[in-house]
Amino acid sequence: EAGVAQSPRYKIIEKRQSVAFWCNPISGHATLYWYQQILGQGPKLLIQFQNNGVVDDSQLPKDRFSAERLKGVDSTLKIQPAKLEDSAVYLCASSLARSGRASEQYFGPGTRLTVT
């Protein structure tokens, strides 16, 4: 079974530029999550989708971050404009269902963003 795919793996941009990350979850997984992991910290949830609807975006900085999951499969996360403090690893995760062991989250390799 293929895992969660993310691209690009690395991205370097200057502050005030825009950037987009892509995630393809495990086939059949209805729930998709984006997390931000700053160096030395644990991941922090940015947004959760159930199919193509948003369940939780309470920690997403909506003035500069946006995310979509149009067909309930792939998702993109965008930052515009980027700030220095956005330098982090952006992790995508997915889960099959919301209950029982099927709620286990599986993570992709992440996209490492450096803002200069």
* Cα 20 to Cα 9: distance, rounded to the nearest angstrom: 12
Binding mask 13-32 for another protein (x = CB under 8 A): ------------------x-
Using the rule CB under 8 A, is 113 a contact of another protein?
Answer: no
Q: Does 104 bind another protein (CB under 8 A)?
A: yes
Residues 57-76 that bind another protein (CB under 8 A): 58
Neighbours of 4 (CB within 10 A): 21
**Binding piece for another protein, criterion CB under 8 A, among 16-24, 63-71, 77-85, 96-104:** 96-104
Strands, DSSP E only, in 1-116?
Answer: 5-7, 10-13, 19-24, 31-37, 44-50, 53-56, 65-68, 75-79, 88-95, 106-107, 111-115
Question: Does the protein bind another protein through residue 97 (CB under 8 A)?
Answer: no
Catalog residues that contact another protein under the rule CB under 8 A. 4, 31, 33, 35, 40-45, 48, 55-56, 58, 91, 93, 98, 100-101, 103-110, 112
